Amino acid sequence: MIKPYENFNQIVALFSDLRCNRIPGQLVIQLTDRCNAFCPQCGMRVTKKFKRSTLSADNVKRIIDTAAQKGVNVVSFTGGEPFLFLDQLVMFIKYAGEAGIEYIRTGTNGFMFANPGSAHFESRVKKVAETLAGTPLRNFWISIDSAVPSVHEQMRGLPDVIAGIEKALPIFHEQGIYPSANLGINRNVGGNMTKGLRVNATLEDDDHLGSFYIAFKKAFRKFYCFVIKLGFTMVNSCYPMSIDHKKKDGSGLSPVYAANSNSSIVSFSAGEKALLFKALLETTTEFRSQIRLFSPGSSLYALYRQYVYDTNASYPCRGGIDFFFIDAKDGNTYPCGYRGNENFGRYWDMDTNALDRIINDCRLCNWECFRDPSELFGPILNALHQPVDLMRKFFRDTKYFKLWFNDIRYYLACDFFNGRLPPDFNRMGMSGKNSAF
Ligand code: SF4
Ligand code: SF4
């Protein structure tokens, strides 16, 4: 069984990182921006006209070699649709494993599971599952946008894909791969329950927000029941990514990663976002013993407070410090997919230590890949480097710290979301209630 930091060298490396005010590194490599799906919430959908790019194999290998030298622990291969280039993807996963990267992740929109009634469906899926099982891949996600199959299939443009996923999951489980359902939070998540709600109400609009909150809480519940029934044992939620684009005064963001859009399906006001985080926290609390849920309660609660009180309630993001994004279009490195004005050039030429001086605390978006681990490591760095500040925070809001401790217990009970192991429901059930409200 793989456990985080189980060997001595890893523990030493972790402490050395923490002592230097650093946390284990993470790199998101966008292999391609090509895609075959129709998602309205994404700027890379197949109908969008722009010049498509794919990173060269030599560059990806060089990036992986550099990441390994820098002690990066987590590498995610994303797209576009990375499975359009399965052979290359498999080669990169193996290469990263051989280079010493421990946490390797990738995912799909599920196009290979569409039309499950077609000839050789099972043998095709089995071949993919066997191929992935022969790699050190740790987490494999499959996107699901709605608890209503027809809504998801229409959004993705993938006919019968839900039935195909249901058929495919046992085949993956047989090979020791436990895929995660990846929910990109959007207004269709609950089908009609959330679809008709008015868009972008303000924090003061109490009537709307009351029904919004109730509808999304029900929708998340429905979604979790749905994916459990499909056979998933793990879920990740991608937080709403409606962002403030760069304004004349220089504030706002400039995305390089086109996995967002201005579509009303994924646009939420600050008040709505706060309630989404609250609804998600309460629902994940309810389902934590039934399915492995990545979203940490402390992170959801911190984001809720950030939107309600407009404070620096959450810990700053480690994007541009320990976490980076490589863009398929130019092959360059960015602090994340959304700070496109800060091009750090080639990853192998980048002096990570020199960046400390130019990066400010950032809380400008809700990209869970970067925000969740930043939040989980926040109190640890705080304890080591600003213990008085941590004590102050502790007495100001003990609820937050209760959630944080429960998250750590839950992450341990889930073997840090090892997607190569089945869930241990006994341990998950004993890891503590997570309620904050
Ligand atoms: S969300 Fe993913 S699958 Fe959908 S269009 Fe964008 S890259 Fe493709
Ligand atoms: S919060 Fe993190 S992911 Fe979001 S813009 Fe800032 S550095 Fe990037």
For residue 204, pLDDT beyond 90: no
Give the mutation target among 33, 34, 41, 45 for probing the ligand 1 site: most ligand atoms within 8 A of CB. Answer: 45
Whole-angstrom distance, CA of residue 422 vs CA of residue 437 = 31
- State the Rg of the chain over Cα: 21
In a domain, 7, yes or no: no
Ligand that lies nearest to the alpha carbon of residue 339, given by its number in the listed order:
2
Nearest CA to ligand 2 atom 8: 336
Specify the number of domains making up the chain: 1
Give the mutation target among 30, 32, 42, 53 for probing the ligand 1 site: most ligand atoms within 8 A of CB. Answer: 42
- The mean pLDDT value for 18-23 works out to 90
Nearest CA to ligand 2 atom 1: 363
Instruction: Give the range among 1-10, 107-116, 424-433 with minimum mean pLDDT.
Output: 1-10
In a domain, 122, yes or no: yes
Ligand that lies nearest to the alpha carbon of residue 260, given by its number in the listed order:
1
Report which ligand 1 atom has the smallest distance to the Cα of 79. Answer: 7
Whole-angstrom distance, CA of residue 326 vs CA of residue 332 = 6
For residue 1, pLDDT beyond 50: no
Residue 130, classified by CB atoms within 10 Å of its CB into exposed (0-12), middle (13-18) or buried (19+), is: middle
At residue 263 the predicted structure's pLDDT band, cuts being 50, 70 and 90, is confident
According to DSSP, the residues that pair with 181 across neighbouring strands are: 142, 235
CB distance 32 to 81 below 8 Å = yes
CB distance 273 to 304 below 8 Å = no
> What value, to the nearest 5°, has the Cα angle with vertex 273 and ends 401 and 395?
20
In a domain, 166, yes or no: yes
What is the residue range of 171's domain? 26-429
What's the mean per-residue pLDDT of the chain? Answer: 90
Ligand that lies nearest to the alpha carbon of residue 266, given by its number in the listed order:
1
In a domain, 9, yes or no: no
At residue 195 the predicted structure's pLDDT band, cuts being 50, 70 and 90, is confident
**Residue 119: left (phi > 0), alpha (psi -120 to 50), or beta?**
beta
What does pTM read for this prediction? 0.93
Task: Output the DSSP codes for 218-267.
Answer: HHHHHHHHHHHHHT-SEEEEEPP----B--TTS-SBB-SS------GGG-
Centre of ligand 1 to C-alpha 33, Å, is: 9
Give the CATH number, domain containing residue 395.
3.20.20
Nearest CA to ligand 1 atom 1: 42
In a domain, 234, yes or no: yes
For residue 6, pLDDT beyond 60: no
Centre of ligand 1 to C-alpha 260, Å, is: 9
Instruction: Tell me, using a 6 A CB cutoff, whether residue 161 lines ligand 1.
Output: no
The two three-digit tokens of residue 347, written as one number: 């990853």
Residue with tokens 């499959």, as numbered in its chain: 142
pLDDT 10s digits, 381-422: 999 999 999 999 999 899 999 999 999 999 999 999 999 999
The two three-digit tokens of residue 396, written as one number: 């100001």
In a domain, 13, yes or no: no
Contacts of the segment 1-6: beta carbons below 8 A, 24+ positions apart:
1/415, 1/418, 1/421, 2/102, 2/138, 2/415, 2/418, 2/420, 3/415, 3/416, 4/102, 4/416
In a domain, 3, yes or no: no
In a domain, 85, yes or no: yes
